Amino acid sequence: MTVSTPFSIALIVITALAFLGLPMGLSMLCGSILYLLLAGQDMGIVAEQFLNGMYSNYIMLAVPLFILAAEIMNSGSLSERLLRWCDAVVGRFRGGLAQVNVLQSIVFAGMSGSAVADAAGSGKMMQHMMTKDGKYTPSYAAALTAVTAVIGPIIPPSIPMVLYALVADTSIGYLFLAGVVPGLLMAGMMMALIAVTARIKNFPVEPPVPLRQLPKMTWQALPVLMMPVVLMVGIYGGITTPTEAAAVAAFYALIVSIVVYRSVNAREFYASLLTSAKTTATIGMLIAGALVFNYVVTVENIPRTISTLLVGWNLDPITFLIIVNIMLLILGCLLEGTTILLVIVPVLIPAAEALGIDMVHFGIVVVVNIMLGLITPPYGMLLFIMTKISGAPMRHLVSDVMPFLIGLLVALIVFTFVPATVLWLPRMFGYAG
C-alpha cells in the first residue's frame, strides 16, 4: 500500500484532522467520504446500502434509552437512596465506606450501563462521604470511585456490549448474561483488596446502622433495587427485547423518580432529556463515522487480509487473545473506548472467528479491556472526571488506582484463559457456544 492510494490518503486525512482537534467521528466521516470520491464510488448507492441495513436494525436505539435512564436516576434521589442502603449493609465493617462504594457500583451497574454515568452519578456523593472529617484522602476516594465505575458496563445492561453486538452480530441477551460473573468477580476482588488495605492502613469503622432498621431502609430503596430485576426478567423471560428493555428502564426510572419518590420536577426532567440528547448526538456521530469507515475497510478487504495473515501464522486461540489483550490495553492508553470498539474491533472479529474463538467470550474480553482503558493513564477518562470532582492531583490519583488496576489485570487474565467464567451463565440459559 503506497501513500498515493485512496485508502492511504483517507488514513492520512483522518489522522491529521484528529490531531488538529476535530472530533473522531467527523474525522472518520471526512476521510471516508474523501476515499469514496477518490475511489470513484457512487455515494448514493453507498448511502442506500446503509439505510437499508439500518431500517431493520434496532440495536442502537438501546444506547440513548439507557443514557436517559441513567440521567433520570442522577437527577432524582435514586442514587442517594441507594447509597444509604449500601451503607446500612456493609458500612459497619472496617473500611466500610470504601466497601459501600463497590456495592453501590454493583447495583448501579444494573441500571445505567455506562461507567461514566456511574462515576458522575454517585461520584460527588461518595467523594463527600469518604473525605468528610478526613476519613479517607481525596485521591483514594476518587481513585476508588473511578475503579468501581469500571464494573458498570460489565454487569448488564451495558452500552459497550450493545455496540459490540452491533459490529459482531452477536446476541445482546447472551452478552449481558456473560458479563454477570466477570463483573461480580471483579467487584469481589476489589472488596478483598479493600479489606486487606483497611487492616494495613487502619481505615475507619463507621457507626453501624441498627439491624432492626435494615428492613425499613430496604423497603425504601426497593424500587431502586428492583430496576435490574425488572430488566433481567423482561429480557430473559422473553417479555422484551434488549432494546425494549432499555425503553422500560428509562420509563421505570421516570415513574419511580416522579411518582414514588417525587424527586424530579419538569425542569429537571427537561435537563435530563437535554443532557441525554447531547450525549447521544456525540456517540451517534462517532457511530456514523465508524460505520462509514468500516465500509471503506471492508471494501479494501482489510479484515479478510488480516484474518488470513494471522491464520497463516498458525496462531492458536490463546496466543491470539494474548496479542489482542496487549494491543487493546496499549490502545486504551491513547484512544477513547468507543473508537476502539467501532473501528479496531471489527477488523479483529474475522480472525477471531477463523480461529474458532467464541464471539460472546471475545466480546467480554474486549469490553473489559476497553473499560480498563478508562482508568489507565494518560487518557483515562474516568481519571480526568474524578480529578475534576475531587480536586486531587492526577499523580496521587494514579498512584492509588494502580493496586486496583493490577488486580483487574489479573481478573482479565482469568477471563481470557478460562472461558467458562464467561460462558457458564449463558450456557445455563441455552447458549450453544
pLDDT of residue 116: 66
The maximal CA–CA distance of the chain, rounded, in angstroms, is: 75
Which residue range(s) make up the domain with 381? 57-264+300-428
Contact between 78 and 257 (Cβ < 8 Å): yes
The C-alpha atoms of residue 227 and residue 232 are separated, in whole angstroms, by: 9
- Would 291 be classed as within a structural domain? no
- Would 256 be classed as within a structural domain? yes
pLDDT of residue 109: 66
The C-alpha atoms of residue 373 and residue 331 are separated, in whole angstroms, by: 8
Distance of CA 20 to CAs 16, 27, 207, 290, Å?
6, 10, 53, 19
pLDDT of residue 395: 85
Phi/psi for 200 (5° steps) reads -70, -45
> Cα 292 to the chain's mean position, in Å?
23
pLDDT of residue 65: 80
| Residues making up the chain, counted from first to last | 433
The C-alpha atoms of residue 164 and residue 58 are separated, in whole angstroms, by: 14
- Would 281 be classed as within a structural domain? no
Contact between 194 and 102 (Cβ < 8 Å): yes
Counted domains in the chain: 1
Distance of CA 404 to CAs 114, 118, 122, 165, 369, Å?
19, 17, 19, 28, 14
- Would 51 be classed as within a structural domain? no
- Would 43 be classed as within a structural domain? no
- Would 334 be classed as within a structural domain? yes
Contact between 151 and 181 (Cβ < 8 Å): no
- Would 18 be classed as within a structural domain? no
pLDDT of residue 152: 78
Query: What sign has the CA pseudo-torsion 310, 315, 316, 317?
Result: negative
**pLDDT, tens digit, for every residue of 58-89?**
667 777 887 787 777 766 666 677 777 777 77
Q: Give the chain's residues under pLDDT 50.
A: none
pLDDT of residue 111: 61
SS3 label, residue 94? strand
Alpha helix (H) ranges present in 1-114? 6-19, 24-38, 43-55, 62-75, 78-90, 96-112
Other beta carbons within 10 Å of 305: 12
Contact between 365 and 100 (Cβ < 8 Å): no
In this prediction the pTM is: 0.78
- Would 29 be classed as within a structural domain? no
pLDDT of residue 367: 92
**pLDDT, tens digit, for every residue of 85-137?**
777 777 677 777 788 778 877 777 666 556 666 666 666 677 777 787 677 88
Fill in the amino acid letter for 364.
I
pLDDT of residue 113: 58
Fill in the amino acid letter for 97.
L
pLDDT of residue 119: 66
pLDDT of residue 91: 66
Burial of 302 (0-12, 13-18, 19+ CB in 10 A): middle
